Amino acid sequence: MTPTPFTLRVPDEAIADLRDRLRLTRFPDQAPGEPWAFGTDVAWMRDFVDYWRDGFDWRAQEARLNAFPQYKVALDGVDLHFLHVPGKGAPGRPALPLLLSHGWPGSVFEFMDLIPRLTDPASFGGDPADAFTVVAPSLPGFGLSFAPGQKRFGAEEIAERFVQLMTEVLGYDRFAAQGGDWGSFITSRIGHTNAANVVGVHLNLLPLKRDLAAVASPTPDERRYLDELSVFMKEETGYQWIQGTRPQTLAFGLTDSPAGLAAWIVEKFRAWSDCGGDVLSVFSRDHLLANIGLYWFTGAIGSSFWPYYARMHGPWPIPDGGTVDVPTGYCQFPTEILRPPRSMAARVFTDIQRWSVMERGGHFAAMEQPDALAAEIRAFFKPLRGQGSDG
């Protein structure tokens, strides 16, 4: 299992085809009521599609990704794509290996601003002794880790492949791990099943089982969370049900229509971020379209739904009664989709060593608040250094 260097180069013909499809977009009518009340706003999308067709430079975003060392390696039926960025540590202090896992509807493009702050902290006012060597894979079935006809992967299987990547392929017997969204499930699963391989896990989403009856006599903080969970399950999980029950059907529309794909994805960036309703106040059009474009050009949207299907038709990735006993750090961003209290988290994560409540940011913390997230990751792992493997 020897990795081969990889450089992304989308064919010119694919870019031309995308522009043709954008030019022929057939927009729906706007539902009555406030903009965004029933999903992605039509007027907003018209402007967004115009920019994607006439103003967006895919090649510039492609070059941004290609500035990082990238590789592919064959693992269990998938050519797994990953970034492997060496850390610039202090003399005599090797960089700690860090597995960085993204989620849905994200990609490795989420980490473009975060990675340099982890691999080269001195360039951002930090201590070079806190440097990481970052390994950031595209989840199997996502983006550049997708090919038509390949097998599908749930969070448990992805966790297994990532441990294999870190240990067998790259030679890191012990490493740090961090994730949000599906990345938090994968990271927590690794902490649960492969405690000997991780020095600690850091999360910006807590993947607790979503059970409204989890606490018989909740405290006020637990009641606040359960009320939030009730609203979330009623109003915000429609995408999970269709992606988790009829992923193939949805894939037809989103694989054929770039505007449909963008509307499906950008609504989540608006709803889940700390943007106050103005998604472009937090994310640039270019940053949004780099991520959306990767889904489009790879044709990976359908296979990216599979973790939802696997979760709905199987057990929770951390089984009932199971725990994550490795050192755990967590940062709670104020507009994260769910914010469980520490009392509930501690039933699953038995060694919480850092719990930080952040001032700003939401679900896409690596894009929204890269400085704050990087500082939290560095601070959590600082006392755990010296326990990792330098490969």
Give the Cα separation of 179 and 262 in Å (integer): 24
Q: For this structure, is 363 an active site residue?
A: yes
Q: Which fold has domain 4-384?
A: Rossmann fold (3.40.50)
Q: CA nearest 362: which of 272, 271, 280?
A: 272
pLDDT the model gives residue 310: 96
User: What does each of the 391 residues of the chain score in pLDDT, given as a tens digit?
Assistant: 799 999 999 999 999 999 999 999 999 999 999 999 999 999 999 999 999 999 999 999 999 999 999 999 999 889 999 999 999 987 878 899 999 999 999 999 999 999 999 999 999 999 999 999 999 999 999 999 999 999 999 999 999 999 999 999 999 999 999 999 999 999 999 999 999 999 999 999 999 999 888 888 899 999 999 999 999 999 999 999 999 999 999 999 999 999 999 999 999 999 999 999 999 999 999 999 999 999 999 999 999 999 999 999 999 999 999 999 999 999 999 999 999 999 999 999 999 999 999 999 999 999 999 999 999 999 999 999 976 565 5
Instruction: Please write down the HEC assignment for all residues of 229-297.
Output: HHHHHHHCCHHHHHHHHCHHHHHHHHHHCHHHHHHHHHHHHHHHCCCCCCHHHCCCHHHHHHHHHHHHH
- Tokens read off for 315: 């057990």
* Rounded alpha-carbon distances, angstroms, from residue 287 to 65, 69, 327, 377: 12, 20, 33, 23
pLDDT the model gives residue 99: 98
Give the Cα separation of 211 and 184 in Å (integer): 18
All structural domains of the chain with their residue ranges: 4-384
Q: CA nearest 132: which of 170, 92, 175?
A: 175
Q: For this structure, is 81 an active site residue?
A: no
Strand partners, 175: 198
Q: In the chain, how long is the greatest CA-to-CA distance?
A: 64
Q: For this structure, is 308 an active site residue?
A: yes
**Annotated active-site residue in 71, 181, 274, 287:** 181
Cα torsion angle, 152, 153, 157, 162, sign: positive
Give the Cα separation of 330 and 376 in Å (integer): 8
**Annotated active-site residue in 71, 225, 308, 309:** 308
Q: Give the number of other CB atoms < 10 A from CB of residue 85.
A: 24
Q: Name the phi and psi angles at 234, rounded to 5.
A: -80, -40
Q: Name the phi and psi angles at 134, rounded to 5.
A: -95, 130
pLDDT the model gives residue 241: 96
CA angle (159 as vertex; 156, 160 as ends), nearest 5: 90
**Annotated active-site residue in 84, 102, 192, 363:** 363
